[in-house]
Each structure stands twice: as structure tokens, then as C-alpha cells.
């Protein structure tokens, strides 16, 4: 592979440029919102020409999807490290919920107001990138069912409902809401809904509680 003058390979140079562009995109998006996140603004933030940006991304929708894919990969890597060595599905589920809420509390340019302005096709692809996280939750729930610590009607539906009940807390936490307070409220709710409240394996199936909450949120948004 050819070597650049700076001592980096072409692949390393391209990777560094992508990272530079996406970091600039996230900064502009957080500061200016979706309408202000133009290719021109991103190029200025990154200290690159628009031609360089277009060599990597056709438009800001492509930058958004590339940025979110990178962020999801980063989060899943963190989650994998946190779950390593855990063998109790209850501990694993609590860890997932806590980490997602902590992620909401951190700086994040894709806020609900930004999401409302993103084109529907881009929004659909953006949200579909969360399928990997849903799969992690699903596998934990299935393992919990097998070991008798969760009582569920349907693990796949429950995994979607769990993630759905976390999303309404995104804006509150992004605005500096009390993350510890939210975690202390949401974690017991989720654990109770899957029949694991107080580590009681005999609790009744509770997925409906989460699904009802999710439906109420959807109704309020429509």
C-alpha cells in the first residue's frame, strides 16, 4: 500500500479524514441544528474544502448516518466491555439500561428537535441502526427466560419496548436533568416489567406495562 509523505498509509489518511469530517459535522450539528449543518459549514469547521467533503460524503444525510454508525459501534464496544464477565441476565439488563441513560446525559447533537427536521428516509435508516442494540437486549431477555429470572410474553417485543421506554428521557437528560434520579426510577421499572423486581423469579409477566407506556408516548407525539 502506498505511503504518504507524513508516514501514514492511504487507508490511514482516509480514516483520519473521515474522523475529522464527522467530528466537525457533530460540532456544527450541535451548534447550528440540522438546517445549519451544510457541507459548507462542515468544511469550514474541519478546515477542509467542500471538494474534500464531497469525496467522502454526498450530503449531510450521509454524514449523519456515518456519524451515527460510528457512535453506535463505540457504544456497543463499551457495552461489550461492561458486560464481560457478567453471568446474571438481571445484572446485564440493568447495565444496558444504565449505560443508555448515561449516554443520553452526555453531549449528543441529535436531539429530538433535530430529529424532527431530518428527512423521513434518513430518519428511518438512522433509527434502524439501533437494531444491533435491540439484539443485545433481546439476547439478554432470552437468556433470562431460559434461566428463569425473567417472565415475559415475547422477548423480541419486550426488547423493543424497553428501548422505547428509555427514549422519552433523552431530552431531559440532554438538558442536564438528574441522571442518577432518572436511573433510580427507570431501572426498577424495567426490571419489574420483565418480572425481575426484587430479584423475584415468580413475578407475573410484565411486558405489557412497558408497551402501554410506549404506546402512550407514541400517542402524545402524534
Burial of 179 (0-12, 13-18, 19+ CB in 10 A): middle
CATH architecture of 61-221: Orthogonal Bundle (1.10)
pLDDT confidence band for 222 (50 / 70 / 90): very low
**Residue that is written with C-alpha cell 438528574 in the block:** 178
Per-range mean pLDDT, top range of 95-109, 151-165, 195-209: 151-165
pLDDT digits (tens, 9 = 90+) for 56-76: 999 999 999 999 999 999 999
Taking CA atoms, 218 is separated from 21, 63, 211, 213, in Å, by 34, 28, 10, 9
pLDDT confidence band for 6 (50 / 70 / 90): low
pTM of the model: 0.77
Q: Decide yes or no: CATH 3.40.1030.10 for domain 1-57.
A: no
Domain ranges of the chain: 1-57, 61-221
pLDDT for 220 equals 46
Whether the pLDDT of residue 197 is over 60: the answer is no
pLDDT for 1 equals 35
88-109: average pLDDT: 90
71-87: average pLDDT: 94
Amino acid at each position: 500500500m502506498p505511503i504518504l509523505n507524513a508516514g501514514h498509509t492511504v487507508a490511514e489518511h482516509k480514516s483520519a479524514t473521515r474522523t475529522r469530517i464527522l467530528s466537525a459535522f457533530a460540532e456544527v450539528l450541535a451548534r447550528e441544528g440540522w438546517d445549519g449543518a451544510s457541507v459548507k459549514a462542515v468544511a469550514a469547521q474541519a478546515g477542509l474544502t467542500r471538494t474534500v467533503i464531497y469525496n467522502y460524503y454526498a450530503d449531510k444525510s450521509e454524514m449523519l448516518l456515518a456519524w451515527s454508525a460510528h457512535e453506535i459501534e463505540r457504544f456497543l464496544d463499551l457495552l461489550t466491555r461492561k458486560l464481560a464477565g457478567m453471568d446474571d441476565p438481571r445484572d446485564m439488563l440493568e447495565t444496558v439500561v444504565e449505560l443508555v441513560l448515561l449516554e443520553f446525559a452526555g453531549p449528543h447533537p441529535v436531539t429530538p428537535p433535530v430529529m424532527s427536521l431530518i428527512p423521513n428516509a434518513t430518519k428511518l435508516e438512522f433509527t434502524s441502526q439501533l437494531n444491533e442494540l435491540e439484539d443485545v437486549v433481546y439476547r439478554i431477555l432470552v437468556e433470562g427466560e431460559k434461566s428463569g429470572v425473567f417472565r415475559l410474553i415475547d422477548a423480541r417485543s419486550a426488547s423493543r419496548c424497553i428501548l422505547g421506554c428509555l427514549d422519552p428521557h433523552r431530552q431531559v437528560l440532554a438538558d442536564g436533568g438528574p441522571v442518577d434520579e432518572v436511573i433510580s426510577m427507570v431501572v426498577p421499572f424495567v426490571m419489574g416489567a420483565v418480572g425481575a423486581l426484587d430479584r423475584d423469579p415468580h413475578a407475573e409477566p410484565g411486558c405489557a406495562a412497558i408497551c402501554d407506556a410506549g404506546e402512550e408516548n407514541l400517542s402524545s407525539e402524534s
